Chains A and B, each alone.
Chain A
Amino acid sequence: DAGVIQSPRHEVTEMGQEVTLRCKPISGHDYLFWYRQTMMRGLELLIYFNNNVPIDDSGMPEDRFSAKMPNASFSTLKIQPSEPRDSAVYFCASSLDNQPQHFGDGTRLSIL
């Protein structure tokens, strides 16, 4: 079975540019989570969806961040405009209700 698929795996861009991270959850999973991981702050939950509806976005750092889930098989996390402090590894995970989360291998984002 295919796991959670994230793209791109690596992204290097200049400050001020728009960045779009993509995630394909495991088929049939009804929860999708976006996390950010840095050495300083560890693993932070940014936002999660249930049945394509955002449930809790309290972890989104500021208005420059937005996330969408137009259908059950696709989600995006967008940063516009990007800043150097956004550099991190961004993970997507999916799960069934009350079941463990399955993580993708992340997108390593570097903002110069």
Chain B
Amino acid sequence: SQQGEEDPQALSIQEGENATMNCSYKTSINNLQWYRQNSGRGLVHLILIRSNEREKHSGRLRVTLDTSKKSSSLLITASRAADTASYFCAPYPGGYNKLIFGAGTRLAVHP
């Protein structure tokens, strides 16, 4: 299955702390994408990391990719209450292959 599986299922932290979410997958990938979903809204793309990249940064976000272990992690530094959302990883094999989203990690950041 090309579905990503996020871990943990839920994470509760205080503002200012860092949040780390992990993703495992089973197939070869062209890239891996992370999305965020706020309550009542559609998913929003956060960051895409290609299979030949090991780390990527975007603002307070840091994504790592280990293709040998078929795993990725998303780190949110200095979290804010506005980061409260569900986070999904989506491994993308390429071609006509579709994205299959896992159950996501529900992050709650408390003021």
Contact = CB atoms under 8 A, between A and B. Distances in A.
Interface residues of A, number: 21
A99 B96 CA distance: 12
Interface string B27-69: 0001101010000111111001000000000000000000000
Size band of the interface chain B makes with A? 20 to 34
Contact of A43 (B30, B33, B88): B88
B100 interface: yes
Interface of A is mostly: strand
Contacts of B33: 100
A42 B104 contact: yes
Given A45-B98, A48-B98, A98-B94, A103 B42 contact: yes
Contacts of B99: 33, 45, 101
Interface string B91-105: 010101011111110
Contacts of B104: 42-43
A98 B31 contact: yes
Contacts of B100: 45
Interface of B: 30-31, 33, 35, 40-45, 48, 88, 92, 94, 96, 98-104
30 contacts: A4-B42, A33-B98, A33-B99, A35-B101, A42-B101, A43-B43, A43-B101, A45-B98, A45-B99, A45-B101, A55-B96, A56-B96, A56-B98, A91-B42, A93-B42, A93-B43, A98-B31, A98-B92, A98-B94, A99-B48, A100-B33, A100-B45, A101-B45, A101-B99, A103-B42, A103-B43, A103-B44, A104-B42, A106-B41, A106-B42
